[in-house]
Structures are given as C-alpha cells and as structure tokens.
Structure 1
Amino acid sequence: MQKIIDTHIHVWDLQKAAYPWLQNDTSILNKTWQIEQLTPEIDTVGITSGVLVQASSNMEDTELMLDTARNTNWISGVVAWLPLMDTAKTQQLLEEKFLQEKYFKGIRHQVHDEPNTKWLLQPAVLDSLKLLAEKDIPFDVVAVLPAHIETALEVAHKIPALKMVFDHLSQPPIKTKEKFGIWGELMRTAAQHKNFYAKISGLGTTSGSHDSWSAEDVKPYIAFALEHFGTQRCFCGGDWPVSQLAGSYSKLWNIYTTVVNSLVDQQESEQIFYNNAQQFYHL
C-alpha cells in the first residue's frame, strides 16, 4: 500500500473556539468534530500521517489543533492562524511561540470569507507575509473566485520567496465541466511561479454532485494541475470533515489514488502522495 500524507484535515470544537462560518449552517458540519472520529478510517485508506489546517481566525482554533497534534501519533503538522493584519503581533507570536513549536508547519487565513478579495494585498498583511517568506513558512491560499487567484498572483510578484499552495485546486469548474476557462488561464499563469503549489483536495464538494461524483468528473482537473504544476508541486488532502458532505473518506481517497495513479508512474505517485507534502511543510 502506498504511503499517503493527508495534508488537509480539520478539527473544531464549538465549546472551545468561535467558527463564524458555521453560524446558520444546517448541515452535519455544525457540530464538534474531533480527530478520534477520523482515526479509525486512516488504516483502511493507508494514510501515513496528517496535517491539521486552520478552520477559524482565532488563537483558540490554533491551540485546539496543536493540542490535537500533541495527542495524536499520526498527526505530523499544523497549518495555524496568525493575526496577519498586525505585523508586530505576528512577529512576536512567531518568535516567542510558534518557531519553537514542533508541530507548527504553515499559516492560513480564510481569505475567501473576507469581503475584500484583495485582503492579502493590504500593507500590514504583506509585511506579515514577508516574515513568513524570510522564515520559510508556507502559506495556504483559499481561492474560491478568480479574483482570489489574481490576488495571490500579485502577492507572488511582491514576495517571490513566499511558498504558497492553492487549497482545493482553487475550485476548478467541475460543476459546469468547463475546460478550463478563466480558472485554467489563472492557474496556468500561477504555475509559472516556482513557489506556487497545488493541493488536490475538496473536489467532491466542488463537483456539486456530492454523493454521485466520480473519478471521471475530477480527472481532467487533476490532470490539468499535474500538467502545469508538475509532479513536483502537487500534493493531496482529504478536507475531512467538510468532505463528508460528498461521501465517505475512503471514497474520496479511492478516487484520488485511482486518478493520480492512472496519470503518472509509481515514482511520481510517491512524490504526489508523500514526498512533496513532506518537503513543502517540512514534516
């Protein structure tokens, strides 16, 4: 069985942190999700290790993830949150806390929930991102609109040393089956920057067909990412528990492994499922 790092797992606890995006959510997501609910499934899929990813813009969410990582033997990293709008506070937290933290591996901000699609281009945020680049700390980009990708491209122009990964392939047009439209143009441009990576994740929910999505639905978009970013700059994530909206954890990993292994050879497959993530997040 091949080694797999799941680079996109969420946990949240409604008693310990605030999750504004879950307000008024009537789905299965609007409750506490703990790592113990996922752990029994990882052996079935063959997950070797996992990375927890920020789910809210507060320190309580980050503390929950770090605590979960310390108490879960197969979790090897945390993509945390920092107050990027406050550069001095970001620097202080990095120097006094996070740089000594064994599980701290990256930063994310839910830019897709900000009214301003150019949120990352604010001077204070750019100064904070420069700190990340100086310390070789990668940044996860949540792009759900073309404008978010355009903003990330501007960030790359201003801070070329910053390593960034597009979560969920920046929402490709799987739903409309478009090949590949404005998404394709922007992602093709992004792929020309050597520090942009692509995370193959979240495609079941992106497909819009939820329970009925298949390997054939997502294969063109995964093939596009592999073609343009190359097998050196793509890796995979499950997006649990959000992925539960589109079927089981084993279903999504079966689809990802089937599609990727149909497109590349064994050595490249090992890069995509294991080595690239290890290198990107310094696991």
Structure 2
Amino acid sequence: MIIDTHIHIWDLKRAAYDWLKEDTSILNRTYRLEELLPSFPAAKVTQGVLVQAANHMEDTELMLETARNHDQVAGVVGWLPLMDPVKTFGILNEKLLKEKYFKGVRHLIHNEPDPAWLLQSEVLESLQILAMHNIPYDVVGVNNDHLETAIKVSEKIPDLTMVLDHLNQPPIAEKKKFGKWGELMKTIAANSNVYAKISGLGTASGNFTGWTADDIKPYIAYTLEFFGTQRCFCGGDWPVSLLAGTYEMHWMIYQDILSSLLPKDNADRVLYKNARAFYNL
C-alpha cells in the first residue's frame, strides 16, 4: 500500500490559477485526476490526497467533487480565507467539517510577497482555529525564510499539526549538505507536531532531465534522522513533478531510497501508515 499525499488537479475552465497565467511550461493546461489514475498501478500507489493549488474555494470545491467521484481519493487538503478568522470559522462549521473528504488546509504562502505571511495576527488566529479542530496545515515553503516562519508558528501554536511540503525545498541544486536548511530542519523537528513530506525533490534538484536517486537520497536520510520514521510520509507532486520525469519514475526512486535506508516495517510507515494517521484518512 502507498498513499500519495500530494496530488494536484486543476481545470482552467472551472477556476483561475494566477500562478499559471504566465507559465509557458507543460503545466499550463487542465489536469484532472482521470489522467493520472492509469499510472497508479505501475507506481504501486493505492490511494491519493488532493492538495490545494489556488487560494480560493473553487479549487477546493473541484477537489471535493473529484473525491466524491473516485474511490482512489482518500482526502482533500483545501483552502480557507485565513486572513479572516470569522470567515474561516464560518466555512469550517457550515460546510467543510461536514465533508468526509476534507482533511487539511493549505495556502500558497510561497506566492505571497511577505515570507512571514503566516505570522500575521489574523492568520495566527485562524491557525489556532485549525488546531482546536485538529485540522492539519500544509506549509509550502521554498526558502529558509519560510522555514523560519514555520518554526515561529510552531512555537506560537504548539498544538497545530503541520507538515513541511517538499521538505521545504532542500538545497539539492546547490549541493549543500546541509547548510542553513539543515540547521532549521533540525530545529523545527524538535516539535513533535511537525511532520515532513518527502515530495517534489526531482524538481527541487534543478536538474530536470538528469537527476538520480543519489542526488536526493542524502536529504531524505537527513530528514529521517531528525523527524524519525513516525513523522515522515511521501507525495508524488503530480503534475508539477512531470517537469522532471514521469510519475512512475518519481515513485520508483522514492521507494528504492526508502527500502535502502529502512527496514520494511519502517518503510511502510513512511509510505502509508503515517499519512493515514496524519490526515485521519
């Protein structure tokens, strides 16, 4: 069993995705789950979690609708207007808490001009609401400033369960082992409510056509050392991952690395048991 905890879908006819408007890559088109599902068997993936790709409710509605129509979807990480705690509370109680597939929240903080966006008082109040309802939060950070912000959030709201998407962009492209990123990851790992998502590492390598397991393995091993096998799980990051190879390729590399680093019981935790517990699937 493998749970892919990081799948994106978007339908350009249904909603706007601002970050795609100037994109000239293969990503600037509609991607629906039906396109991915035939790749599940070869990748040995059995279920998936759909993850937010735009800061609006239309994106969340598309994911929830997709989840209702496909047994392979185990959960949805949606969006909430965190800058407005009253609205956040209202949408949760009037709608999302009644949705069986709603399992977490994310905001595209890496597209916000302020790397400390999460530390605004209104956002912190909304994150406290998530903590009260035991709703986990996905942190999509891409630099050390985002990681420092996540550390401060974890100190201000220690009961908030968080996961660092894509290991917060380790310095694979710079071939640093492990620099400031490593220091900050070690610091935040001290909070037992913070998890690490092994995902997006092919694109993080910066070498879209030539990256190998050897390029990313040290960063996975380092993360496992500090977060342990109880607080790590994996995601494929489709379709963004297609920039750096096929869906199956990414999953084969992740599985090979984990099997080389861990005994089977621990690898199983990272491949599905931890994800099931974290997102309450």
Whether TM-score is above 0.5 comes out as: yes
In percent, how many aligned pairs have the same letter?
59
In structure 1, distance between residues paired with 2:191 and 2:63: 31
Q: What TM-score do you get using the length of structure 2 for normalisation? A: 0.99
Unaligned runs of 5+ in 2: none
Shift of 1:23: 1.2
SS in 1 for 2:209: helix
Deviation track 1:115-152 (CA, whole Å, cap 9, x = no partner) reads: 01110011110000000000100000011110101111
Match of 1:93 in 2: 91
Match of 1:191 in 2: 189
Shift of 1:17: 0.8
Residue 25 (str. 1) matches residue 61 (str. 2): no
In structure 1, distance between residues paired with 2:103 and 2:122: 22
One-letter amino acid matched to 1:79? V
Unaligned runs of 5+ in 1: none
In structure 1, distance between residues paired with 2:182 and 2:145: 13
Match of 1:6 in 2: 4
Q: Aligned residue pairs: how many?
A: 281
Shift of 1:45: 1.2
In structure 1, distance between residues paired with 2:271 and 2:34: 23
2:13 aligns with one of 12, 15, 18:
15
In structure 2, distance between residues paired with 1:16 and 1:74: 22
Runs of 4+ in 1 over 2 A off after TM superposition: none
Shift of 1:271: 0.3
Match of 2:70 in 1: 72
Residue 266 (str. 1) matches residue 264 (str. 2): yes
In structure 2, distance between residues paired with 1:23 and 1:150: 29
SS in 2 for 1:165: strand
In structure 2, distance between residues paired with 1:127 and 1:29: 34
Shift of 1:37: 0.6
In structure 2, distance between residues paired with 1:155 and 1:225: 20
Match of 1:111 in 2: 109
Residue 212 (str. 1) matches residue 210 (str. 2): yes
Q: What TM-score do you get using the length of structure 1 for normalisation? A: 0.99
One-letter amino acid matched to 1:189? T
Q: CA RMSD in A?
A: 0.5
Deviation track 1:177-202 (CA, whole Å, cap 9, x = no partner) reads: 11000000000101111011000000
Deviation track 1:196-244 (CA, whole Å, cap 9, x = no partner) reads: 1000000000001112111000000000010010000000000000000
SS in 2 for 1:256: helix
Match of 1:141 in 2: 139
One-letter amino acid matched to 1:19? Y
Residue 158 (str. 1) matches residue 159 (str. 2): no
In structure 1, distance between residues paired with 2:185 and 2:42: 33
In structure 2, distance between residues paired with 1:236 and 1:188: 19
Give the stretch that moved more between structures: 208-217 or 4-13: 208-217
